[in-house]
């Protein structure tokens, strides 16, 4: 029986040699090729890229052969490339879309396929459903059709054009003038040679760690979370750096380390950059955040008199607002953001460089700027926790998510939001949001309160409600 291939919030991912096999890759890519052929029967070009994971080159070559067999020109990126660089190339070259072999921040045993549409954005559900239907009709190991016309394979490099675009958005001269030193940690991933090359080319001192290919990413997931950034911190101390900038496996997510070694929550990075872009660019057309992202964005939107858009989880929804120029910045608490006049895709490279610009121009550390922001709109303390559920508890809890609770832990529910999962906003403006994983027996519990001590109480109450 053929594996059922489903595209989630950011593509299809699976364990290599388990479900992510050459046979299933051929099925998935054939489904995408058939979809493209129906959208653009002649003259279509497909960008094909990868991150540095195991067998990436083989998967790329396989996809290129399938594209050619369907009469689609294949533009193959020669080296590992960031997801946002691939997105920009789709837009720049007017391609029919892109296939990117990456499992992003997932552990090294995973690989995956992200499909971008002609606008450079992650494919929306209406597109992925059509692709899934094509895949479902394909046998376990499909044969390549005879090409109806002569398609060509071309090898391309996306780094120069993408970095040129980044340099048009980020004030690199201000960073250089400030004299601050930086450390860049690409986590052995696709951004190697991107952020640090651009900085050095503009005379900005930067040291790089984990600057070589390792398909095992040091033995853990290539996710720039605080506990995995100790090498970055050590290099910062050694070089007296003001900031550490990190990206995940495909560079669509960011990690920020302040001068004192403090890891800055992605929620706070998004809020700080929103405030900074309004101040320096005068962009007040709007702001977007996922339902699970800090309500500090809501408070800032009120403060700056900017329209707020709250979306389901999944950057594709924010990407649509970027395309329509409805927002100055959009972000998710899972460390993804993009900005106006840029790609409708998460970009960890530009996130880090804009934070460097912010520190350079304001002259204060990220922590100092965050405390100032608390003084402006109030304090916000968000967190996310994952809880594994037994099959029985998951079944009961799934039904509970359809109810409208009146209180949790003695807190009265003021508003129920069902944009994605179940979000409960309480009288004191604290909130919790529950989202069930679509791939494992896990509930993600997001919570936010006005103080760290109250956040602990709220988290405990939220957890008890799951198990009641």
**How far apart, in whole angstroms, are the C-alpha atoms of residue 268 and residue 347?**
16
Number of Cβ atoms within 10 Å of the Cβ of 373:
22
Structure tokens at 446: 């997001």
User: Using only C-alpha atoms, what is the Rg of the chain?
Assistant: 22
**Cα separation values, 406 from 398, 403, 410, 415, 427, Å:** 18, 10, 10, 9, 11
Beta bridge partners of 443: 387, 436
Say how far apart CA 312 and CA 292 lie, in whole Å.
Answer: 8
**CA 299 vs CA 87, 371, 423: distances in Å:** 31, 15, 17
pLDDT digits (tens, 9 = 90+) for 109-148: 999 999 999 999 999 999 999 999 999 999 877 777 766 5
The CB density around residue 207, as the number of other CB atoms within 10 Å, is 18
Crossing angle of helices 159-169 and 83-93, in 10° steps, is: 90
- Distance separating alpha carbons of residues 337 and 359, to the nearest angstrom: 18
DSSP letter (8 states) at residue 147: P
Q: What is the pLDDT of residues 425-463, one digit of tens each?
A: 999 999 999 999 866 788 999 999 999 999 999 999 999
361/358 Cα distance (integer angstroms): 5
pTM over 0.85: yes
Beta-sheet strand order (sheet of 308-311): 308-311, 287-290, 329-332, 336-339
Q: Do residues 361 and 178 make contact, with C-beta atoms less than 8 angstroms apart?
A: yes
pLDDT in tens, the chain (468 residues): 678 999 987 789 999 999 999 999 999 999 999 999 999 988 999 999 999 999 999 999 999 999 999 999 999 999 999 999 999 999 999 999 999 999 999 999 999 999 999 999 999 999 999 999 999 999 877 777 766 578 999 999 999 999 999 999 999 999 999 999 999 999 999 999 999 999 999 999 999 999 999 999 999 999 999 999 999 999 999 999 999 999 999 999 999 999 999 999 999 999 999 999 999 999 999 999 999 999 999 999 999 999 999 999 999 999 999 999 999 999 999 999 999 999 999 999 999 999 999 999 999 999 999 999 999 999 999 999 998 999 888 999 999 999 999 999 999 999 999 999 999 999 999 999 999 986 678 899 999 999 999 999 999 999 999 988
**Rounded Cα–Cα distance for residues 430 and 446 (Å):** 11
Q: What is the pLDDT of residue 141?
A: 74
Q: How many CB atoms lie within 10 A of CB 103?
A: 27
Distances (CA, A) of 70 to 58, 96, 422: 19, 13, 43
Scanning the structure block, which residue is given the tokens 């508890």?
Answer: 393
Question: Could you tell me if 142 and 134 are in contact, meaning their C-beta atoms sit under 8 angstroms apart?
Answer: no
Q: 10 Å Cβ neighbour count for 396?
A: 14
Tokens 């959208």 belong to residue: 39
Q: What angle do CA 245, 248, 254 make, to 5 degrees?
A: 45
In degrees, rounded to 5, the angle at the alpha carbon of residue 420 between the alpha carbons of residues 415 and 425 is 20
Q: Is 399 exposed, middle or buried (0-12, 13-18, 19+ CB in 10 A)?
A: exposed
366-377 helix and 266-281 helix, angle to the nearest 10 degrees: 80
What domains appear along the chain, each with residue ranges and CATH number?
A: 12-157 (3.40.120.10), 161-377 (3.40.120.10), 381-467 (3.30.310.50)
Structure tokens at 125: 């559900």
Contacts 24+ apart (CB under 8 A), 215-220: 215/52, 215/53, 215/54, 215/108, 216/108, 217/107, 217/108, 217/187, 217/188, 217/189, 217/249, 218/187, 218/188, 219/108, 220/107, 220/108
């Amino acid at each position: 029986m053929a594996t059922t291939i489903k595209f989630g919030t950011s593509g299809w991912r699976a364990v290599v040699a388990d479900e992510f096999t050459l046979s299933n890759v051929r099925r998935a890519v054939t489904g995408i090729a058939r979809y493209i052929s129906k959208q653009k029967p002649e003259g279509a070009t497909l960008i094909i890229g990868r991150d540095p994971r195991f067998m990436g080159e083989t998967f790329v070559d396989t996809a290129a052969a399938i594209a050619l067999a369907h009469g689609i020109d294949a533009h193959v990126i020669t080296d590992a490339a960031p997801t946002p660089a691939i997105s920009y190339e789709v837009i720049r070259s007017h391609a029919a879309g892109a296939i990117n072999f990456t499992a992003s921040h997932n552990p090294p045993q995973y690989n995956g396929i992200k499909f971008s549409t002609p606008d450079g954005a992650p494919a929306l559900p209406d597109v992925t459903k059509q692709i899934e239907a094509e895949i479902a009709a394909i046998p376990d190991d499909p044969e390549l059709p005879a090409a109806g016309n002569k398609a060509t394979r071309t090898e391309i490099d996306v780094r120069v054009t993408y970095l040129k675009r980044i340099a048009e958005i980020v004030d690199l001269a201000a960073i250089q003038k400030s004299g601050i030193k930086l450390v860049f940690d690409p986590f052995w991933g696709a951004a190697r040679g991107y952020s640090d090359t651009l900085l050095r080319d503009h005379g900005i001192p930067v040291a790089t760690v984990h600057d070589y290919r390792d398909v095992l990413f040091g033995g853990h997931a290539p996710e720039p979370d605080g506990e995995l950034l100790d090498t970055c911190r050590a290099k910062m101390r050694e070089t007296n750096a003001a900031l550490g900038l990190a990206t995940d496996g495909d560079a669509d997510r960011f990690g920020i380390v302040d001068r004192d070694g403090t890891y800055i929550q992605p929620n706070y990075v998004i809020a700080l950059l929103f405030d900074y872009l309004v101040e320096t660019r005068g962009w007040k057309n709007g702001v977007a955040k996922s339902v699970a992202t800090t309500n500090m964005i809501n408070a800032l939107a009120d403060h700056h008199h900017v329209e707020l858009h709250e979306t389901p989880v999944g950057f594709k929804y924010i990407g649509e607002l970027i395309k329509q120029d409805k927002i100055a910045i959009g972000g998710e608490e899972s460390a993804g953001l993009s900005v106006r006049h840029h790609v409708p895709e998460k970009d960890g490279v530009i996130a880090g460089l804009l934070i460097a610009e912010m520190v350079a121009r304001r002259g204060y550390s990220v922590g100092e700027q965050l405390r100032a922001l608390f003084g402006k709109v109030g304090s916000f303390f968000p967190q996310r926790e994952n809880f594994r559920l037994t099959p029985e508890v998951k079944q009961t809890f799934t039904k509970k998510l359809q109810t409208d609770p009146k209180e949790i832990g003695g807190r009265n529910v003021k508003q129920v939001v069902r944009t994605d999962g179940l979000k409960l906003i309480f009288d004191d403006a604290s909130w919790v949001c529950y989202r069930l994983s679509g791939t494992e027996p896990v509930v993600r519990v997001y919570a936010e309160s006005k103080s760290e001590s109250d956040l602990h109480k709220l988290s405990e109450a939220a957890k008890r409600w799951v198990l009641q």
